[in-house]
Chain A
Amino acid sequence: MNILKRFLYASALPVVLVAIWWATSSTSTNFFVPKPAPLVSTFVETWVGERIFSDVLPSIGRLLAGVAMAILLGVLCGLLIGSVRWLRELTEPILEFFRAIPPPVLVPVLILLLGVNDSMKVTVIVSGCIWPVLLNTIEGVRAIDSVLADSARTYGITGPARVRHLVLPSALPQIMAGIRQCLSLGLILMVISEMFASSSGLGFTIVQFQRSFAVPEMWSGIVLLGLIGVVMSFIFQWAERRVLRWYHGLREVENAA
Protein backbone atom coordinates (compact mmCIF):
# COMPACT_ATOMS: atom_id res chain seq x y z
CA MET A 1 0.00 0.00 0.00
CA ASN A 2 2.69 2.37 1.05
CA ILE A 3 4.82 1.59 -1.99
CA LEU A 4 1.82 1.99 -4.27
CA LYS A 5 1.07 5.38 -2.74
CA ARG A 6 4.62 6.51 -3.16
CA PHE A 7 4.65 5.33 -6.74
CA LEU A 8 1.46 7.26 -7.44
CA TYR A 9 2.86 10.42 -5.89
CA ALA A 10 6.07 10.11 -7.88
CA SER A 11 4.44 9.37 -11.22
CA ALA A 12 1.27 11.49 -11.16
CA LEU A 13 2.74 14.84 -12.13
CA PRO A 14 5.12 13.53 -14.83
CA VAL A 15 2.24 11.60 -16.42
CA VAL A 16 0.00 14.68 -16.38
CA LEU A 17 2.77 16.85 -17.82
CA VAL A 18 3.52 14.42 -20.63
CA ALA A 19 -0.20 14.15 -21.36
CA ILE A 20 -0.52 17.94 -21.60
CA TRP A 21 2.55 18.06 -23.82
CA TRP A 22 1.10 15.33 -26.03
CA ALA A 23 -2.28 17.02 -26.32
CA THR A 24 -0.98 20.51 -27.03
CA SER A 25 1.78 19.52 -29.42
CA SER A 26 -0.27 17.11 -31.51
CA THR A 27 -2.21 19.96 -33.11
CA SER A 28 0.70 22.37 -33.14
CA THR A 29 2.48 23.08 -36.38
CA ASN A 30 5.20 25.12 -34.70
CA PHE A 31 8.55 24.13 -36.10
CA PHE A 32 10.31 24.48 -32.74
CA VAL A 33 7.93 22.43 -30.62
CA PRO A 34 8.94 18.78 -30.36
CA LYS A 35 6.31 16.03 -30.29
CA PRO A 36 6.68 13.20 -27.79
CA ALA A 37 6.56 10.16 -30.08
CA PRO A 38 8.81 11.51 -32.86
CA LEU A 39 11.21 12.78 -30.19
CA VAL A 40 11.65 9.29 -28.80
CA SER A 41 12.24 7.79 -32.23
CA THR A 42 14.63 10.60 -33.19
CA PHE A 43 16.46 10.07 -29.93
CA VAL A 44 17.00 6.40 -30.70
CA GLU A 45 17.94 7.11 -34.33
CA THR A 46 20.35 9.89 -33.44
CA TRP A 47 22.17 8.55 -30.44
CA VAL A 48 21.97 4.77 -30.54
CA GLY A 49 24.59 3.50 -32.94
CA GLU A 50 27.84 4.97 -34.13
CA ARG A 51 27.46 8.32 -32.34
CA ILE A 52 27.74 6.68 -28.95
CA PHE A 53 31.32 5.73 -29.71
CA SER A 54 32.32 8.78 -31.73
CA ASP A 55 30.77 11.54 -29.60
CA VAL A 56 28.99 10.49 -26.44
CA LEU A 57 31.48 8.15 -24.79
CA PRO A 58 34.56 10.34 -25.47
CA SER A 59 32.70 13.30 -23.95
CA ILE A 60 31.75 11.33 -20.87
CA GLY A 61 35.29 9.96 -20.63
CA ARG A 62 36.74 13.48 -20.63
CA LEU A 63 34.17 14.54 -18.06
CA LEU A 64 35.03 11.67 -15.72
CA ALA A 65 38.77 12.16 -16.16
CA GLY A 66 38.47 15.88 -15.46
CA VAL A 67 36.22 15.47 -12.47
CA ALA A 68 38.36 12.70 -10.97
CA MET A 69 41.51 14.79 -11.31
CA ALA A 70 39.78 17.84 -9.87
CA ILE A 71 38.58 15.85 -6.85
CA LEU A 72 41.98 14.26 -6.24
CA LEU A 73 43.91 17.52 -6.62
CA GLY A 74 41.33 19.51 -4.69
CA VAL A 75 41.30 17.15 -1.73
CA LEU A 76 45.11 16.82 -1.60
CA CYS A 77 45.77 20.56 -1.86
CA GLY A 78 42.86 21.25 0.48
CA LEU A 79 44.25 18.94 3.15
CA LEU A 80 47.64 20.64 2.88
CA ILE A 81 46.38 24.24 2.81
CA GLY A 82 43.76 23.57 5.45
CA SER A 83 46.24 22.14 7.96
CA VAL A 84 48.94 24.80 7.59
CA ARG A 85 47.80 28.13 8.89
CA TRP A 86 50.34 30.47 7.27
CA LEU A 87 49.82 28.76 3.93
CA ARG A 88 46.08 29.25 4.26
CA GLU A 89 46.45 32.94 5.02
CA LEU A 90 48.96 33.37 2.23
CA THR A 91 46.79 31.78 -0.44
CA GLU A 92 43.31 32.84 0.66
CA PRO A 93 42.89 36.04 -1.40
CA ILE A 94 44.32 34.38 -4.52
CA LEU A 95 42.01 31.39 -4.14
CA GLU A 96 39.03 33.67 -3.57
CA PHE A 97 39.84 35.45 -6.80
CA PHE A 98 40.30 32.30 -8.88
CA ARG A 99 37.11 30.84 -7.55
CA ALA A 100 35.21 33.97 -8.53
CA ILE A 101 36.32 33.83 -12.18
CA PRO A 102 33.45 32.28 -14.11
CA PRO A 103 35.03 28.99 -15.29
CA PRO A 104 33.84 29.24 -18.93
CA VAL A 105 36.18 32.23 -19.29
CA LEU A 106 39.01 29.72 -19.03
CA VAL A 107 38.00 28.10 -22.32
CA PRO A 108 39.46 30.77 -24.63
CA VAL A 109 42.48 31.17 -22.33
CA LEU A 110 43.28 27.47 -22.40
CA ILE A 111 42.68 27.22 -26.14
CA LEU A 112 45.53 29.71 -26.51
CA LEU A 113 47.79 27.87 -24.11
CA LEU A 114 47.09 24.29 -25.11
CA GLY A 115 45.38 24.38 -28.49
CA VAL A 116 42.14 22.61 -29.33
CA ASN A 117 42.53 19.03 -28.15
CA ASP A 118 41.51 16.59 -25.47
CA SER A 119 43.98 17.84 -22.89
CA MET A 120 42.57 21.36 -23.26
CA LYS A 121 39.04 20.09 -22.61
CA VAL A 122 40.09 18.04 -19.60
CA THR A 123 42.10 20.99 -18.27
CA VAL A 124 39.07 23.25 -18.62
CA ILE A 125 37.04 20.81 -16.54
CA VAL A 126 39.77 20.38 -13.93
CA SER A 127 40.51 24.08 -13.58
CA GLY A 128 36.85 24.93 -13.25
CA CYS A 129 35.73 22.10 -10.96
CA ILE A 130 38.63 22.13 -8.53
CA TRP A 131 37.48 25.24 -6.62
CA PRO A 132 34.39 23.92 -4.86
CA VAL A 133 36.30 20.79 -3.80
CA LEU A 134 39.40 22.69 -2.74
CA LEU A 135 37.62 25.40 -0.77
CA ASN A 136 35.22 22.99 0.89
CA THR A 137 38.12 20.72 1.90
CA ILE A 138 39.97 23.68 3.41
CA GLU A 139 36.86 24.68 5.35
CA GLY A 140 36.24 21.10 6.45
CA VAL A 141 39.82 20.66 7.68
CA ARG A 142 39.64 23.96 9.54
CA ALA A 143 36.44 23.00 11.31
CA ILE A 144 37.77 19.80 12.91
CA ASP A 145 36.27 19.34 16.36
CA SER A 146 38.89 20.63 18.79
CA VAL A 147 38.15 17.95 21.38
CA LEU A 148 38.72 15.25 18.79
CA ALA A 149 41.92 16.94 17.62
CA ASP A 150 43.20 17.16 21.20
CA SER A 151 42.30 13.53 21.92
CA ALA A 152 44.14 12.44 18.79
CA ARG A 153 47.19 14.39 19.91
CA THR A 154 47.08 12.88 23.41
CA TYR A 155 46.99 9.40 21.97
CA GLY A 156 49.97 10.25 19.84
CA ILE A 157 48.13 9.89 16.55
CA THR A 158 50.12 11.92 14.02
CA GLY A 159 51.11 11.91 10.39
CA PRO A 160 49.25 9.70 7.92
CA ALA A 161 47.22 8.00 10.65
CA ARG A 162 45.92 11.39 11.77
CA VAL A 163 44.89 12.30 8.24
CA ARG A 164 43.29 8.89 7.69
CA HIS A 165 41.36 8.63 10.96
CA LEU A 166 40.73 12.21 12.02
CA VAL A 167 41.13 14.81 9.28
CA LEU A 168 39.54 13.03 6.33
CA PRO A 169 36.43 11.76 8.15
CA SER A 170 35.80 15.14 9.79
CA ALA A 171 36.12 16.98 6.52
CA LEU A 172 34.20 14.42 4.47
CA PRO A 173 30.69 15.92 4.76
CA GLN A 174 32.08 19.24 3.50
CA ILE A 175 34.13 17.54 0.81
CA MET A 176 31.06 15.71 -0.45
CA ALA A 177 29.17 19.00 -0.65
CA GLY A 178 32.02 20.33 -2.77
CA ILE A 179 32.04 17.25 -5.00
CA ARG A 180 28.34 17.71 -5.63
CA GLN A 181 28.91 21.21 -7.01
CA CYS A 182 31.97 19.96 -8.86
CA LEU A 183 29.94 17.36 -10.77
CA SER A 184 27.29 19.72 -12.09
CA LEU A 185 29.93 22.31 -12.96
CA GLY A 186 31.94 19.61 -14.76
CA LEU A 187 29.03 18.72 -16.99
CA ILE A 188 28.51 22.39 -17.88
CA LEU A 189 32.19 22.85 -18.68
CA MET A 190 32.32 19.69 -20.76
CA VAL A 191 29.52 21.01 -22.96
CA ILE A 192 30.95 24.52 -23.21
CA SER A 193 34.47 23.36 -24.06
CA GLU A 194 33.00 21.36 -26.93
CA MET A 195 30.62 24.06 -28.09
CA PHE A 196 33.26 26.73 -28.23
CA ALA A 197 35.88 25.08 -30.37
CA SER A 198 35.78 21.45 -31.31
CA SER A 199 34.95 19.08 -34.09
CA SER A 200 33.49 16.24 -32.07
CA GLY A 201 31.72 15.53 -28.83
CA LEU A 202 28.27 16.01 -27.45
CA GLY A 203 28.33 19.81 -27.20
CA PHE A 204 29.65 20.17 -30.74
CA THR A 205 27.07 17.78 -32.17
CA ILE A 206 24.16 19.59 -30.52
CA VAL A 207 25.32 22.98 -31.78
CA GLN A 208 25.76 21.44 -35.22
CA PHE A 209 22.14 20.26 -35.18
CA GLN A 210 21.00 23.71 -34.12
CA ARG A 211 22.99 25.42 -36.88
CA SER A 212 21.56 23.14 -39.52
CA PHE A 213 18.04 23.61 -38.08
CA ALA A 214 17.70 19.89 -37.33
CA VAL A 215 15.30 20.76 -34.55
CA PRO A 216 14.11 17.28 -33.46
CA GLU A 217 17.74 16.07 -33.35
CA MET A 218 18.69 19.14 -31.33
CA TRP A 219 15.92 18.42 -28.84
CA SER A 220 17.08 14.82 -28.55
CA GLY A 221 20.57 16.13 -27.72
CA ILE A 222 19.14 18.37 -25.01
CA VAL A 223 17.28 15.36 -23.62
CA LEU A 224 20.48 13.30 -23.64
CA LEU A 225 22.36 15.99 -21.72
CA GLY A 226 19.52 16.11 -19.24
CA LEU A 227 19.61 12.35 -18.81
CA ILE A 228 23.36 12.41 -18.20
CA GLY A 229 22.82 15.09 -15.55
CA VAL A 230 20.07 13.07 -13.88
CA VAL A 231 22.08 9.83 -13.90
CA MET A 232 25.12 11.60 -12.46
CA SER A 233 23.05 13.11 -9.69
CA PHE A 234 21.53 9.72 -8.80
CA ILE A 235 24.93 8.01 -8.72
CA PHE A 236 26.27 10.79 -6.56
CA GLN A 237 23.35 10.57 -4.12
CA TRP A 238 23.86 6.82 -3.84
CA ALA A 239 27.58 7.22 -3.24
CA GLU A 240 27.03 10.00 -0.73
CA ARG A 241 24.58 7.88 1.25
CA ARG A 242 27.13 5.07 1.41
CA VAL A 243 30.14 7.23 2.25
CA LEU A 244 28.36 9.42 4.77
CA ARG A 245 26.09 6.80 6.35
CA TRP A 246 27.74 7.28 9.75
CA TYR A 247 27.34 11.04 9.46
CA HIS A 248 23.63 11.02 8.61
CA GLY A 249 23.09 8.49 11.43
CA LEU A 250 24.93 10.74 13.85
CA ARG A 251 22.86 13.75 12.81
CA GLU A 252 19.64 11.80 13.28
CA VAL A 253 20.63 10.74 16.79
CA GLU A 254 21.66 14.29 17.66
CA ASN A 255 18.42 15.75 16.33
CA ALA A 256 16.32 13.19 18.15
CA ALA A 257 18.01 13.93 21.47
Chain B
Amino acid sequence: MKARKQVLGLAGIAGFLLLSELSSRSGLVDSRFMPPASDIVGALMGNLVHHKFWIAAGQTMQAWAIGLAISLVLGVLLGFVIGSSTVLRRLTNSTVEFLRPIPSVALIPLAVLLFGVKIESSLMLIIYASFWQIFIQVLYGVADVDNIAMQTARSYGLNSLARIRHLVFPTTLPYLMTGLRLATAVALILAVTAGLVIGSPGLGREIALAQSGGAVPEMYALAVATGLIGVGINIAMRKVERRVLSWHSSVRSEAIA
Protein backbone atom coordinates (compact mmCIF):
# COMPACT_ATOMS: atom_id res chain seq x y z
CA MET B 1 0.00 0.00 0.00
CA LYS B 2 2.70 2.38 1.05
CA ALA B 3 5.02 1.08 -1.64
CA ARG B 4 2.44 1.81 -4.33
CA LYS B 5 2.12 5.34 -3.08
CA GLN B 6 5.87 5.90 -3.12
CA VAL B 7 6.27 4.39 -6.58
CA LEU B 8 3.50 6.57 -7.96
CA GLY B 9 4.96 9.63 -6.26
CA LEU B 10 8.41 8.98 -7.70
CA ALA B 11 6.86 8.36 -11.10
CA GLY B 12 5.13 11.72 -10.80
CA ILE B 13 8.41 13.50 -10.08
CA ALA B 14 10.21 11.67 -12.89
CA GLY B 15 7.38 12.41 -15.31
CA PHE B 16 7.41 16.07 -14.40
CA LEU B 17 11.18 16.36 -14.85
CA LEU B 18 10.99 14.52 -18.18
CA LEU B 19 8.17 16.72 -19.39
CA SER B 20 10.00 19.96 -18.60
CA GLU B 21 13.22 18.57 -20.11
CA LEU B 22 11.46 17.60 -23.34
CA SER B 23 9.42 20.77 -23.69
CA SER B 24 12.59 22.81 -23.37
CA ARG B 25 14.77 20.65 -25.63
CA SER B 26 12.12 20.43 -28.33
CA GLY B 27 11.77 24.21 -28.41
CA LEU B 28 8.17 24.20 -27.20
CA VAL B 29 9.23 26.82 -24.67
CA ASP B 30 12.18 29.13 -25.17
CA SER B 31 15.13 27.34 -23.57
CA ARG B 32 16.84 30.67 -22.89
CA PHE B 33 14.10 31.49 -20.40
CA MET B 34 13.05 28.01 -19.35
CA PRO B 35 16.18 25.87 -19.40
CA PRO B 36 15.84 22.06 -19.46
CA ALA B 37 15.51 20.35 -16.11
CA SER B 38 18.93 18.72 -16.42
CA ASP B 39 20.59 22.15 -16.65
CA ILE B 40 18.74 23.33 -13.56
CA VAL B 41 19.64 20.22 -11.60
CA GLY B 42 23.22 20.65 -12.79
CA ALA B 43 23.31 24.23 -11.57
CA LEU B 44 21.79 23.14 -8.28
CA MET B 45 24.46 20.46 -7.83
CA GLY B 46 27.11 23.00 -8.75
CA ASN B 47 25.73 25.27 -6.05
CA LEU B 48 25.98 22.59 -3.41
CA VAL B 49 29.78 22.54 -3.62
CA HIS B 50 29.99 26.34 -3.63
CA HIS B 51 30.77 28.29 -0.52
CA LYS B 52 28.66 31.24 -1.59
CA PHE B 53 25.46 29.26 -1.81
CA TRP B 54 25.79 27.90 1.71
CA ILE B 55 26.54 31.34 3.11
CA ALA B 56 23.43 32.78 1.46
CA ALA B 57 21.29 29.84 2.60
CA GLY B 58 22.71 30.25 6.10
CA GLN B 59 21.82 33.95 6.14
CA THR B 60 18.27 33.24 5.07
CA MET B 61 17.88 30.49 7.63
CA GLN B 62 19.41 32.67 10.33
CA ALA B 63 16.87 35.44 9.75
CA TRP B 64 14.15 32.78 9.61
CA ALA B 65 15.16 31.19 12.90
CA ILE B 66 15.68 34.41 14.86
CA GLY B 67 12.45 35.95 13.56
CA LEU B 68 10.49 32.81 14.31
CA ALA B 69 11.92 32.51 17.82
CA ILE B 70 11.08 36.11 18.69
CA SER B 71 7.53 35.86 17.35
CA LEU B 72 7.05 32.54 19.14
CA VAL B 73 8.01 34.04 22.50
CA LEU B 74 5.95 37.19 21.91
CA GLY B 75 2.96 35.31 20.54
CA VAL B 76 2.84 32.77 23.33
CA LEU B 77 3.33 35.32 26.13
CA LEU B 78 0.81 37.84 24.83
CA GLY B 79 -1.58 35.08 23.76
CA PHE B 80 -1.63 33.56 27.24
CA VAL B 81 -1.95 36.90 29.05
CA ILE B 82 -4.67 38.30 26.80
CA GLY B 83 -6.40 34.98 26.21
CA SER B 84 -6.88 34.20 29.90
CA SER B 85 -8.72 37.44 30.65
CA THR B 86 -12.14 38.04 29.12
CA VAL B 87 -11.88 41.78 29.62
CA LEU B 88 -8.50 42.01 27.89
CA ARG B 89 -9.72 39.81 25.06
CA ARG B 90 -12.74 42.02 24.43
CA LEU B 91 -10.69 45.19 24.69
CA THR B 92 -8.07 44.06 22.21
CA ASN B 93 -10.37 42.25 19.78
CA SER B 94 -11.10 45.20 17.48
CA THR B 95 -7.47 46.31 17.39
CA VAL B 96 -6.24 42.79 16.64
CA GLU B 97 -8.81 42.31 13.89
CA PHE B 98 -7.66 45.57 12.38
CA LEU B 99 -3.90 45.01 12.58
CA ARG B 100 -3.82 41.36 11.57
CA PRO B 101 -4.92 41.66 7.92
CA ILE B 102 -2.35 44.40 7.19
CA PRO B 103 -0.03 42.70 4.73
CA SER B 104 3.50 42.45 6.07
CA VAL B 105 4.96 43.61 2.77
CA ALA B 106 3.36 47.00 3.40
CA LEU B 107 6.15 47.43 5.96
CA ILE B 108 8.91 46.94 3.37
CA PRO B 109 9.47 50.66 2.68
CA LEU B 110 9.53 51.36 6.40
CA ALA B 111 12.02 48.56 7.00
CA VAL B 112 14.26 49.97 4.27
CA LEU B 113 14.20 53.44 5.79
CA LEU B 114 14.83 52.19 9.31
CA PHE B 115 17.38 49.44 8.76
CA GLY B 116 18.55 49.51 5.14
CA VAL B 117 19.76 46.22 3.71
CA LYS B 118 20.66 44.64 7.02
CA ILE B 119 19.22 41.51 8.60
CA GLU B 120 17.05 43.67 10.89
CA SER B 121 14.77 44.64 8.03
CA SER B 122 14.17 40.94 7.23
CA LEU B 123 13.53 40.33 10.92
CA MET B 124 10.97 43.10 11.13
CA LEU B 125 8.93 41.60 8.27
CA ILE B 126 9.29 38.03 9.51
CA ILE B 127 8.28 38.89 13.06
CA TYR B 128 5.27 40.95 12.00
CA ALA B 129 3.99 38.21 9.70
CA SER B 130 4.55 35.18 11.89
CA PHE B 131 3.60 36.80 15.19
CA TRP B 132 -0.08 36.99 14.20
CA GLN B 133 -0.22 33.35 13.14
CA ILE B 134 1.01 32.19 16.55
CA PHE B 135 -0.77 34.81 18.65
CA ILE B 136 -4.23 34.15 17.13
CA GLN B 137 -3.92 30.40 17.49
CA VAL B 138 -2.82 30.70 21.13
CA LEU B 139 -5.75 33.03 21.73
CA TYR B 140 -8.18 30.45 20.29
CA GLY B 141 -6.49 27.68 22.25
CA VAL B 142 -6.66 29.44 25.61
CA ALA B 143 -10.34 30.22 24.99
CA ASP B 144 -10.98 26.54 24.25
CA VAL B 145 -10.25 25.33 27.79
CA ASP B 146 -13.05 23.06 28.96
CA ASN B 147 -15.20 24.75 31.58
CA ILE B 148 -15.78 21.65 33.67
CA ALA B 149 -12.10 20.77 33.65
CA MET B 150 -11.35 24.32 34.78
CA GLN B 151 -13.84 24.12 37.64
CA THR B 152 -12.50 20.72 38.63
CA ALA B 153 -8.98 22.11 38.73
CA ARG B 154 -10.17 25.00 40.86
CA SER B 155 -12.00 22.81 43.35
CA TYR B 156 -8.94 20.58 43.68
CA GLY B 157 -7.13 23.71 44.75
CA LEU B 158 -4.71 24.04 41.83
CA ASN B 159 -3.24 27.52 41.94
CA SER B 160 -3.13 29.61 38.80
CA LEU B 161 0.39 28.51 37.87
CA ALA B 162 -0.51 24.84 38.20
CA ARG B 163 -3.71 25.41 36.25
CA ILE B 164 -1.74 26.91 33.39
CA ARG B 165 0.81 24.10 33.52
CA HIS B 166 -1.62 21.17 33.69
CA LEU B 167 -4.76 22.45 32.01
CA VAL B 168 -4.43 25.59 29.89
CA PHE B 169 -1.10 24.70 28.32
CA PRO B 170 -2.05 21.17 27.19
CA THR B 171 -5.32 22.49 25.76
CA THR B 172 -3.52 25.22 23.89
CA LEU B 173 -0.68 23.06 22.58
CA PRO B 174 -2.46 21.68 19.46
CA TYR B 175 -3.48 25.22 18.51
CA LEU B 176 0.01 26.49 19.17
CA MET B 177 1.48 23.78 16.93
CA THR B 178 -0.89 24.74 14.11
CA GLY B 179 0.11 28.38 14.52
CA LEU B 180 3.78 27.46 14.58
CA ARG B 181 3.45 25.38 11.41
CA LEU B 182 1.80 28.27 9.57
CA ALA B 183 4.38 30.66 10.99
CA THR B 184 7.36 28.60 9.81
CA ALA B 185 6.04 28.72 6.24
CA VAL B 186 5.21 32.43 6.37
CA ALA B 187 8.58 33.24 7.93
CA LEU B 188 10.40 31.50 5.07
CA ILE B 189 8.33 33.42 2.51
CA LEU B 190 9.21 36.71 4.16
CA ALA B 191 12.87 35.78 4.66
CA VAL B 192 13.21 35.18 0.93
CA THR B 193 11.06 38.17 -0.01
CA ALA B 194 13.19 40.52 2.06
CA GLY B 195 16.25 39.43 0.14
CA LEU B 196 14.45 39.66 -3.17
CA VAL B 197 12.86 43.08 -2.78
CA ILE B 198 14.99 44.88 -0.19
CA GLY B 199 18.29 43.19 -0.95
CA SER B 200 19.10 42.06 2.56
CA PRO B 201 21.60 39.18 2.50
CA GLY B 202 20.36 35.68 1.72
CA LEU B 203 18.96 33.46 -1.00
CA GLY B 204 16.43 36.06 -2.11
CA ARG B 205 19.15 38.52 -3.02
CA GLU B 206 21.09 35.83 -4.89
CA ILE B 207 17.97 35.10 -6.94
CA ALA B 208 17.50 38.78 -7.78
CA LEU B 209 21.20 39.05 -8.71
CA ALA B 210 21.05 35.92 -10.87
CA GLN B 211 18.01 37.27 -12.66
CA SER B 212 19.46 40.69 -13.37
CA GLY B 213 22.75 39.09 -14.40
CA GLY B 214 21.04 36.75 -16.86
CA ALA B 215 22.24 33.57 -15.13
CA VAL B 216 18.99 31.77 -15.90
CA PRO B 217 19.69 28.14 -14.85
CA GLU B 218 21.33 29.50 -11.72
CA MET B 219 18.19 31.50 -10.90
CA TYR B 220 15.98 28.46 -11.35
CA ALA B 221 18.36 26.38 -9.25
CA LEU B 222 18.14 28.90 -6.42
CA ALA B 223 14.34 28.97 -6.66
CA VAL B 224 14.30 25.18 -6.48
CA ALA B 225 16.64 25.34 -3.49
CA THR B 226 14.21 27.58 -1.61
CA GLY B 227 11.45 25.09 -2.44
CA LEU B 228 13.55 22.23 -1.08
CA ILE B 229 14.20 24.21 2.10
CA GLY B 230 10.45 24.73 2.37
CA VAL B 231 9.76 21.01 1.95
CA GLY B 232 12.41 20.26 4.57
CA ILE B 233 10.81 22.69 7.02
CA ASN B 234 7.37 21.18 6.40
CA ILE B 235 8.59 17.64 7.00
CA ALA B 236 10.48 18.65 10.13
CA MET B 237 7.44 20.50 11.48
CA ARG B 238 5.20 17.48 10.89
CA LYS B 239 7.68 15.32 12.80
CA VAL B 240 7.83 17.79 15.68
CA GLU B 241 4.05 18.06 15.74
CA ARG B 242 3.55 14.32 15.84
CA ARG B 243 6.07 14.03 18.63
CA VAL B 244 4.81 16.90 20.80
CA LEU B 245 1.16 15.95 20.34
CA SER B 246 1.58 12.18 20.51
CA TRP B 247 -0.90 12.11 23.38
CA HIS B 248 -3.53 14.09 21.48
CA SER B 249 -6.50 12.33 19.89
CA SER B 250 -5.91 13.82 16.42
CA VAL B 251 -2.48 12.17 16.22
CA ARG B 252 -3.59 8.95 17.96
CA SER B 253 -6.43 8.41 15.50
CA GLU B 254 -4.03 9.00 12.62
CA ALA B 255 -1.78 6.23 13.90
CA ILE B 256 -4.63 3.76 14.02
CA ALA B 257 -6.02 4.58 10.61
Contact = CB atoms under 8 A, between A and B. Distances in A.
Contacts of B222: 105
Given A195-B105, A233-B97, 14 more contacts: A9-B90, A12-B91, A32-B113, A94-B13, A98-B227, A100-B234, A108-B196, A108-B208, A113-B29, A188-B105, A207-B109, A218-B109, A218-B113, A229-B106
The 10 A-B pairs at the shortest CB distance, nearest first, are namely A100-B230, A210-B109, A101-B227, A229-B101, A225-B106, A108-B211, A226-B102, A89-B8, A233-B101, A10-B94
A93 B227 contact: no
19 contacts: A9-B93, A12-B91, A86-B8, A90-B12, A94-B13, A97-B227, A103-B189, A105-B204, A106-B223, A108-B207, A108-B210, A109-B223, A112-B33, A112-B211, A195-B105, A196-B196, A207-B109, A225-B105, A233-B101
B92 interface: yes
Contacts of A12: 91
A52 interface: no
Contacts, number: 169
Interface string A35-69: 00000000000000000000000000000000000
A206 B110 CA distance: 10
B172 interface: no
A138 interface: no
Contacts of B51: none
B193 A104 contact: yes
A96 B231 contact: yes
Given A206-B109, A222-B107, A229-B103, A105 B207 contact: yes
B226 interface: yes
Interface string A204-242: 001101100101001001100110011011000000000
Interface string B188-199: 110111001100
Contacts of A93: 9-10, 12-13
A113 B33 contact: yes
Contact of A32 (B12, B15, B114): B114
B106 A222 contact: yes
A213 B197 CA distance: 18
A160 interface: no
Contact of A184 (B101, B112, B219): B101
A125 interface: no
Nearest to A207: B109
Instruction: Please report whether the interface of chain A is mostly helix, strand, loop or mixed according to DSSP.
Output: helix
Contact of A210 (B13, B91, B112, B210): B112
A184 B4 CA distance: 37
B189 A221 contact: no
B247 interface: no
A192 B204 CA distance: 13
B162 to A, nearest CB: 28
B33 A91 contact: no
A14 B12 CA distance: 52
Contacts of B135: none
A100 B108 CA distance: 22
B5 interface: yes
Instruction: Please report whether the interface of chain B is mostly helix, strand, loop or mixed according to DSSP.
Output: helix
A101 B193 contact: no
Interface string B96-123: 0110111111111110111000000000
A76 interface: no
A11 B108 CA distance: 29
Given A108-B196, A195-B197, A188 B103 contact: yes
Contact of A113 (B34, B97, B191, B192): B34
Contacts of A112: 33, 211, 216, 219
Most chain A beta-carbon neighbours within 10 Å: one of B29, B223, B228: B223
A191 B216 CA distance: 24
A11 B98 CA distance: 12
Contacts of B91: 9, 12-13
Contacts of A91: 12
B220 interface: yes
Contact of B12 (A92, A102, A184): A92
A111 B4 CA distance: 39
A151 to B, nearest CB: 22
Nearest to B229: A100
Given A12-B91, A109-B220, A218-B109, A230 B98 contact: yes
